[in-house]
Amino acid sequence: MHTSGSRIVRVGTSLAVPVRRRALVQGLAVVAALVAVGIATLTLGGLGIAPERLPAALIDIPGGSEGFVLKRLRGPRFVVAVATGAALGISGALFQTVTRNPLGSPDVIGLTAGAGAGAAAASLLLPGAVSVPAGAMLGAAGATVVVFVSTGRGFSSPSRLIIAGIGVSAMAVAFTQYVVMLQSRDQAAVLHAYLTGSLSARSWQNAAVIGGALAVLLPAAIALGRRLHLIEMGDELADALGGKAEQTRVWSIVVAIALSAAAVSVAGPIAFVSLTAPQITKRLSRTPGANVVLSALTGAFILAAADLCAQQVPVVEDLPVGVLTAGIGGLYLGYLLVREWKKGTV
C-alpha cells in the first residue's frame, strides 16, 4: 500500500491514509463523467432545461415546466440512479472479494431472483394488498434467509453460499415465470418491466430510501475494505494478521445484502451493475482488492449513463434501464477482457 505510486494523506497526527495516485485520478475522472451525465440528463430532449439556464435553475428552483422537470421528473430519477448504482457497485465489490469469485454478486446468492419472485407473488396472489416493491423486498429477504439456512454454516462458507444461491435462484425464477404465464398480457408486461429493473417515475421518497441506506452502509463498507484486502490472501493469513476473517466475511455479506435489498426496493432487480462495476474498477485502477469507493462511483456512472440512454434513445418507448445496464456494462467489461487477453495478462 505504500511503496508503489501512493501518497500518504495526513490530517494532524491521528489520521494517516495512503492514497494511490492512479486511484485518485480515476475517481476524479468518474466523478467528472457523472457530472456530465447529470447535466445531460437534465438538459437533453424536448422537456430538457436549456443548458444556459441550468446553473440558475439549480440554485433557485423555478416554477412551471422547468421546475417540474427538475423536481419531479428527472431530478429524483438521476439521484436515485446514482445512489442505486453506487449501492450495487459496493455490494458487488464486497461479494466478489468475500467469495473470492469474480462472478460473486447479489444475483449469485439468489437475492435478485428472490426479489423478482416476491414481486410476482405480490402482483398475482395479493394484488393491491402488498405493493410490488414491498413484495420484492420480502422476496429478497426470504431468498436470503433460505440461503443462510441451507448452507448449514450461515454466510461463512463462500462455496456453499454460491451453490445454495444458485439453487434458490433457479426455484425463484421458475416461480416468476409461472406467474408471468398465468397473468394477462397487460399485467405480464407491467410485471416484466419491473422485473428487468426500471427507474422511470422515481420520487424523492425513493431517493431518501436509497440515500439513507448508502449513508449508513458506505462507511461500514469502507471500514471493512481494509480487512477484505487481507481475506484475499486466504483466511489463515488474514487471521494471523489480526484481520478476523470470518467476522469480516459475515459482516461484509450483511452489508452487501442490505445495500442490494435497498437498491431492489427502489429500482427493481437491476442486473449486471454489481457484477461489472467492481471488475471494471479493478481493471482500470490496476489495484488488487475491494475498491469500495471506486466501485461505488463506477456503479453510479453505469446506472446513470444507462438511464440517460433509456430516456433519450428512441429505440423502444420507456425501455427498462436494466436492459441497458447489461448492454453498457457488459460491452465495456468485454472490451477490457479482450484487451487483457491480447496482452496475455489474464
Under 8 Å CB-to-CB from 137, ≥6 apart: which residues?
A: 115, 118, 261, 264, 265
Please choose, out of 104-112, 129-137, 233-241, 260-268, the segment that lies near other proteins by the rule CB under 8 A: 233-241
Contact 301, 168 (CB under 8 A): no
Residue 287 interacting with other proteins (CB under 8 A): yes
Q: Give least dist CB 26 to other proteins, A.
A: 14
Query: Applying CB under 8 A, which of residues 24, 33, 233, 250 lies at the interface with other proteins?
Result: 233
- Nearest CB to other proteins, comparing residues 74 and 229: 229
Residue 189 interacting with other proteins (CB under 8 A): no
- Nearest CB to other proteins, comparing residues 318 and 340: 340
Residue 126 interacting with other proteins (CB under 8 A): no
Q: Give least dist CB 276 to other proteins, A.
A: 17
Q: How far apart are the C-alpha atoms of 176 and 164, rounded to whole Å?
A: 18
How many residues touch other proteins under the rule CB under 8 A: the total is: 31
Query: Applying CB under 8 A, which of residues 213, 230, 302, 306 lies at the interface with other proteins?
Result: 230
Residues in the chain: 346
Please choose, out of 7-15, 54-62, 139-147, 261-269, the segment that lies near other proteins by the rule CB under 8 A: 7-15
CA 292 to chain centre: 12
| C-alpha cell belonging to residue 289 | 482488492
Query: Applying CB under 8 A, which of residues 28, 103, 240, 338 lies at the interface with other proteins?
Result: 240
Containing 189, the helix (H) or strand (E) segment is helix 185-196
Please choose, out of 41-49, 74-82, 198-206, 232-240, the segment that lies near other proteins by the rule CB under 8 A: 232-240
Q: 63 to each of 41, 67, 70, 340, how far by Cα in Å? A: 19, 5, 10, 51
As a whole number of angstroms, the longest Cα–Cα distance in the chain is 66
| Burial class, 71, CB count within 10 angstroms (exposed 0-12 / middle 13-18 / buried 19+) | middle
Residue 17: other Cβ atoms inside 10 A: 12
Interface pattern 42-81 for other proteins (x via CB under 8 A): ----------------------------------------
Q: How far apart are the C-alpha atoms of 5 and 21, rounded to whole Å?
A: 6
Residue 242 interacting with other proteins (CB under 8 A): yes
Residue 226 interacting with other proteins (CB under 8 A): yes
Residue 145 interacting with other proteins (CB under 8 A): no
Contact 22, 31 (CB under 8 A): no
Q: Give least dist CB 328 to other proteins, A.
A: 24
- Nearest CB to other proteins, comparing residues 82 and 293: 293
The dihedral through the CA atoms of 56, 57, 63, 66 has a sign that is positive
Query: Applying CB under 8 A, which of residues 3, 52, 60, 181 lies at the interface with other proteins?
Result: 3
Q: Give least dist CB 3 to other proteins, A.
A: 3
Coil vs helix vs strand at 248: helix
Q: How far apart are the C-alpha atoms of 244 and 227, rounded to whole Å?
A: 8
Q: How far apart are the C-alpha atoms of 24 and 199, rounded to whole Å?
A: 30
Q: What residues between 77 and 106 interact with other proteins by CB under 8 A? A: 100
250: left (phi over 0), alpha (psi -120 to 50) or beta: alpha
Which of 104, 99, 108 lies closest to 159, judged by CA?
99
- Nearest CB to other proteins, comparing residues 2 and 185: 2
Please choose, out of 112-120, 197-205, 208-216, 279-287, the segment that lies near other proteins by the rule CB under 8 A: 279-287
Binding footprint of other proteins on the chain (CB under 8 A): 1-4, 8, 14-18, 100, 223, 226, 229-230, 232-234, 236-237, 239-244, 282, 286-289
